[in-house]
Amino acid sequence: MNCWPEVSVRAKIDGMATRSTRTRSSYHHGDLRAALVGAGAELARTGGPEAIVLREVTRIVGVAPNAVYTHFATLAELKSAVAQHALREMAAAMLSHLAQVEEPADAPGAAEVHLREVGRAYVHFALDQPGLFRIAMDGNPDGVGTPGRGEKQRDFASEDRPKPDTLLIAALRRLTEAGLLPAEETDAAVMASWATVHGLATILLNLQPFRSAAEREAAVDAGLHYLLRGLTSRT
């Protein structure tokens, strides 16, 4: 393939501080697996899932292409690990957004604002980090939330950090506790809310990329407005 839109991001990347541990004392790397995932994430950040190219990842880390196969059975498995990484970064960004939101004093109003801002943070991450969002959402063929099969579990501490869907579920629980949503509707509400924000994100990202920032924000507001009215209005 001669398709080389950008020559290589290697120089840009390995110029920014040594990765994780020391960068190659000799032969044995030390923490190659994490380095590969990190390099994959940097590639995905710029160019999305298809930018995660095995040989380029190994070039960045400074290792032979086949070194990947001691840690992952296949490139798809490395991508899946990068997807988990991106998912955690997404959740962190959403938490950071939520921390800056001031909620009204009353519980129902606060619960509404909270759900709205969780949704807004979801879409904003997609628009701010399209590459990471894409790998997060199509990197794991088993479905989001399911750990990759071939991975040996490691790093327990960071393994169960909050995922985006966890934040959504928590927001809906708050809505229920505030008396705005019947408890038995939780599952349905989760799917409806997730669909709204995920739909907004993918449409604005993939299908309507020509929209202006103002139009995008209006679409997000509209989607969240109708969602909240649909969830909370009693008929």
Partner DNA sequence: TCCCTAATCTGGACAGCGTCCAGATCGATG
Partner DNA sequence: CATCGATCTGGACGCTGTCCAGATTAGGGA
Catalog residues that contact its own copies under the rule CB under 8 A: 137-138, 142-144, 146, 185, 187-189, 191-192, 194-200, 202-203, 206-210, 218-219, 221-223, 225-231, 233, 235
Q: How far apart are CA 193 and CA 231, in angstroms?
A: 9
Q: How far apart are CA 53 and CA 79, in angstroms?
A: 9
Choosing among DNA, its own copies, none, which partner's interface includes residue 64 (Cβ < 5 to 8 Å by kind)? DNA
Residue carrying structure tokens 């880390």? 61
Q: How far apart are CA 46 and CA 68, in angstroms?
A: 21
Q: What are the tokens at 230?
A: 């649909």
Least Å from the CB of residue 196 to its own copies: 5
Binding residues vs DNA (CB under 7 A):
1-3, 26-30, 32, 53-56, 58, 63-67, 69-71, 74-76
Q: What are the tokens at 26?
A: 């000799």
In this structure, are residues 229 and 235 in contact, taking their beta carbons and an 8 Å threshold? Answer: no
Task: Compare residues 118 and 200 and give the one whose CB is closer to its own copies.
Answer: 200
Least Å from the CB of residue 30 to its own copies: 30
Least Å from the CB of residue 34 to DNA: 11
Question: Of 181, 82, 164, nearest to 120 (Cα)?
Answer: 164
Task: Compare residues 38 and 148 and give the one whose CB is closer to its own copies.
Answer: 148
Least Å from the CB of residue 52 to DNA: 7
Choosing among DNA, its own copies, none, which partner's interface includes residue 63 (Cβ < 5 to 8 Å by kind)? DNA
Q: How far apart are CA 21 and CA 166, in angstroms?
A: 31
Task: Compare residues 129 and 196 and give the one whose CB is closer to its own copies.
Answer: 196
Q: What are the tokens at 127?
A: 């628009």
Task: Compare residues 135 and 178 and give the one whose CB is closer to DNA.
Answer: 135
Helix (H) or strand (E) holding 155: none
Least Å from the CB of residue 90 to its own copies: 13
